[in-house]
Amino acid sequence: MSKGGKSDQEDGEENMVAWLVGLNTLKIQPFKLPPLGPHDVRVGMKAVGICGSDVHFFKIVHPAYLCFKLPDNVSLEEGALCQPLSVAVHACRRGNISPETNVLVMGAGSIGLVTLLAARAFGAPRIVTVDVDGNRLSVAKELGADGVVEVSTNMQDIPKEVETICNVMGAKVDVSFDCAGLSKTMSTALSVTRAGGKVCLVGLGHNEMTVPLTPAAAREVDVIGVFRYKNTWPLCIELLRSGKIDVKPLITHRFGFSQKEIEEAFETSAGGGNAIKVMFNL
């Protein structure tokens, strides 16, 4: 504490941060840290990943009980990936994934890939991943997908692609995860899922979609919404600690914290291609 009972933070302690100062313009500038309350903690960031929702910026003070200590065998980079993993764990809970559940994952981006990992950790015996990108499907295969199917963006191809997915699965699809949130991916998921099965909408791509809802309803296919996560961090940390889930292969690019590197990192993340998870090391 400084003189007068004020904390060092109240006296103007600063930290360097990457500010969004304009459209697609990031600059590293000093930031005056807010004072801590009697029950607050300040987290020192050492590794942080770029999330798809980073176009939104929020400023809020969180209570200390929301902090979770990482086990000694879980790296800071792995800890940073608890956030996307939490989305997948919440999705698997919503879909009631178990050793009796054959799973289809539509989309092999970062969320689709962690959903694959989480579904396997929940005991799913067979998992097939679908995407338009062959490179990402190769990663899905390396992460343990039992089968992969490369598809097009053409709605007219859905019937033949559904047949291919069924053949690759070799069994009925009990639960499908749409991790893209597009009319085609949702239509495919609704068409391929067995009667009485579930389709979990994880990716929120478009506000409106055109999908074959009536045929799915006639087969009593349940559509389940998935929005972010809740009460998932302890389980995610335990899955990482125990080795049941290895998220390290998802990190494809690493950058430091300089003006040039933060610009390059966001360009890499937005560019798609071989980038899956882009990580800053501070």
pLDDT the model gives residue 4:
38
For the stretch 137-147, pLDDT in tens is 999 999 999 99
**Angle (deg, nearest 10), helices 110-121 and 134-142:** 20
Question: Which residue, 54, 120, 61, 57, is CA-closest to 85?
Answer: 120
Q: Which residues contact 190 (CB under 8 A, 6 or more apart)?
A: 176, 199, 211, 212, 213, 215, 216, 221, 223
- Is the predicted pLDDT of residue 31 greater than 70, yes or no? yes
Q: Where are the domains of the chain?
A: 3-67+247-281, 91-225
pLDDT range class, residue 24, cuts 50, 70, 90: confident
**Sheet containing 193-201, strands listed edge to edge, beginning at the edge strand earlier in sequence:** 147-150, 127-131, 103-106, 173-178, 193-201, 222-225
Mean pLDDT of the chain: 90
> What is the amino acid identity at position 194?
R
CATH classification code of 91-225: 3.40.50.720
pLDDT the model gives residue 61:
67
pTM for the predicted model, two decimal places: 0.81
pLDDT range class, residue 55, cuts 50, 70, 90: low
Cα separation values, 123 from 87, 98, 101, 105, 250, Å? 17, 5, 8, 15, 21
